[in-house]
Amino acid sequence: MSVLCYSHGCSQSKGYSVMDKQHLLTVDILSRHGARDPTATKTKSYNSTIQKLKSNVARFKGKYAFMNKFEYTLGADQLTLFGEQQMTNSGVAFYNRYKGLAKQGTPFIRASGQERVIQSARKFSKGFHQAKMADREPDASYPYSILVIPEGKGFNNTLDHGLCTAFEEGKRYAVVGSEAQQIFLATFVLRTIQRLNTDLPGANLTAADAINLLDLCPFTTVASPLAAVSPFCHLFTLDEWKHYNYYQTLGKYYGYGAGNPLGPTQGVGYVNELIARLSGTAVNDHTSVNRTLDANNVTFPLGEALYVDVSHDNDMTSIFSALGLYNSTRPLSNTSSQPTEAAAGYSAAWTVPFAGRAYIEKMECVGEKEELVRIIVNNKVIQMETCGADRLGRCTLTDFIQSLSFAAGGGKWDKCFAE
C-alpha cells in the first residue's frame, strides 16, 4: 500500500468533515504537484538498469516475463496524464469541500516556477472551475490568474528551497538524509539483491539497481493514464515494500524535516506568510520571503477567503516541520524500520504523495470567543500539540500563532551562511 500511496496519494481520514456550528473564514491549501515522470538524473539511471538487465539476462520468466517486451519510455520531470487528473480532482474536491467560500469568488493562486508545478496549478484551477460550473455558479474570471514565483539560484521563493548555502551545499547538512538512507539500506537490500540475482541468472544487480527497480513501480504506474498497477510492483515482497517505504521516509525526515538541523528552517518563510494571512498583518520575515512580491497587495493580498499554493514534496516536508505538525515523532531509527503509527503518523507516503495537500482552516465557532485554526493533511486532522488543540484538532488563533515562534524568529537562518 505504501508505495501506491506515495504515487497515487492516500486518504488517512480522521475527523475530516466540515463541522456544524462553525463559520469558515479563510482556507489555505498547500499542495504538491501531481504525479510526474522521474527527474532527468533518475530517468537516466532507471534506463541504465533496464538496459543492464536486458543485456545480461537471456530470457525473463514467470513474474519477470513482461521484461521481454518492456521498453523504457519514461520522460523526465513532466506531469503525467494521471498527474493532471489528480490535480483536476483536487480542484473539484477543494470547491466541494469549501463551497460556502468558493461560491463567493475565486482563490488566489501561486505556483513555484517549475513547469510541472505551474501545470498542476492550472489543472487544479480547471477542476475548481468545473465544479463551480456544475454548481451553476457564475465564473467569469476563469482562467484564473496564477502567480508564478521563479526557481533558481538567487530567487527568494517560499515554495522552493535553494537560498540556504549550508543546507544546499554544506558537508554538515546536505548529506544527512542520504547518509541515513544508506545506513538503513544495508539492513535489507542484500537479501533483495540475492533473491533477484537468483531469480535472474547473470543479472548482477547492485543495491542501486534494486532501488531503481523499486522506484519503477510507482513511476510506471503513474505513467498509465488510469494508474494501472505496474508489473514492477509484483517483483517485490510485502516486507521489501515496507522497508522501501521506510527508506523513503528516512530521506524526507533527515533530508528536509525535523531530522535535519536546518530542515525546518527551509519552511520558515512560508510559515511567516501563513501567519500574515491568518492575522491580516504584513509579512515579517528575513529568510526566503520575496519581499518585493509580499509587500505588494496584488501579489500577496491579505483578506482573501481562499489561497492555493503549489509546491514540491521536499519543501512541504520542511514547512510541515516548521509548523511543528509532527513534533511528537521521535527521531527515526536508521538501523531498523518502524510502522507509521509508531512514528506518530509520520511517513513520506502519508504526508507528501503526488498531489498531497494540507488545508489550513480559520473559523469562527459557536461558543468560542476567539477564531480557531486547524490543519488537515491528506484528509487527516492533525492534532496540534504545540498549541493545545482540542479534541477536534482546533487551536485558538492566538495560541496557534504563538506556537510558531521558531518561524517568527527566523529559525536557524543565521547558520545558513556560517560554513
pLDDT tens, 141-160? 999 999 999 998 889 999 99
Cell numbers for 226, please give them.
488510469
Q: Residue 177 has which C-alpha cell?
A: 538524509
Percent of the chain whose predicted confidence (pLDDT) is above 90:
92
The pLDDT-based confidence of 3 (bands split at 50, 70, 90) is very low
Three-state DSSP class for residue 309 = strand
Considering only residues 5 and 388, tell me which one the structure prediction assigns the higher pLDDT: 388
Rg over alpha carbons for the chain, rounded to the nearest Å, is 22
**pLDDT score, position 1:** 32
Residues of the chain above pLDDT 70, percent: 95
- Give the pLDDT score at 418: 83
Using DSSP, state whether 36 is helix, strand or coil.
Answer: strand
pLDDT at 22: 81
**3-state DSSP assignment of residue 249:** helix
Distance between CA 307 and CA 313 in Å, rounded? 19
Averaged pLDDT, 63-70: 98
pTM > 0.85: yes or no: yes
CA distance 108 to 355: 18
Do 263 and 255 contact (CB within 8 A), yes or no? yes
How does residue 170 score in pLDDT terms, banded at 50, 70 and 90?
confident
Say whether pLDDT at 134 is over 60: yes
How would you classify the pairing of strands 306-311 and 372-377? unpaired
Q: What is the DSSP letter of 62?
A: G
In sequence order, what are the residues at sequence separation of 6 or more whose Cβ sits closer than 8 angstroms to the Cβ of residue 391? none
Question: Does residue 17 register a pLDDT over 70?
Answer: no
Q: Which band of pLDDT confidence, cut at 50, 70 and 90, is reported for residue 7?
A: very low
What average pLDDT does the structure give for the chain?
95
**What is the predicted pLDDT for the residue at 16?**
52
pLDDT at residue 69 in the model: 97
Q: What is the pLDDT of residues 330-373, one digit of tens each?
A: 999 999 999 999 999 999 999 999 999 999 999 999 999 999 99
Better pLDDT: 20 or 282: 282
The rounded distance, in Å, linking the Cα atoms of 205 and 184 is: 19
Q: Are 368 and 22 in contact (CB under 8 A)?
A: no
The answer on pLDDT for 19 being more than 80 is no
**What per-residue confidence (pLDDT) applies to 12?**
53
Higher pLDDT, residue 171 or 88: 88
Residues 300 and 294: beta-carbon distance below 8 Å: yes
Please identify every residue annotated as catalytic.
33
Model confidence at 21, pLDDT cuts 50, 70, 90, reads: low
pLDDT at 253 over 70: yes
| pLDDT over threshold 80, residue 220 | yes
pLDDT for residue 10 is more than 90: no
* The predicted structure's pLDDT at residue 283: 98
- Tell me, what DSSP letter sits at residue 311? E
Instruction: Compute the average pLDDT of residues 392-397.
Output: 97
Tell me, rounded to whole angstroms, the distance of Cα 102 from its chain centroid: 24
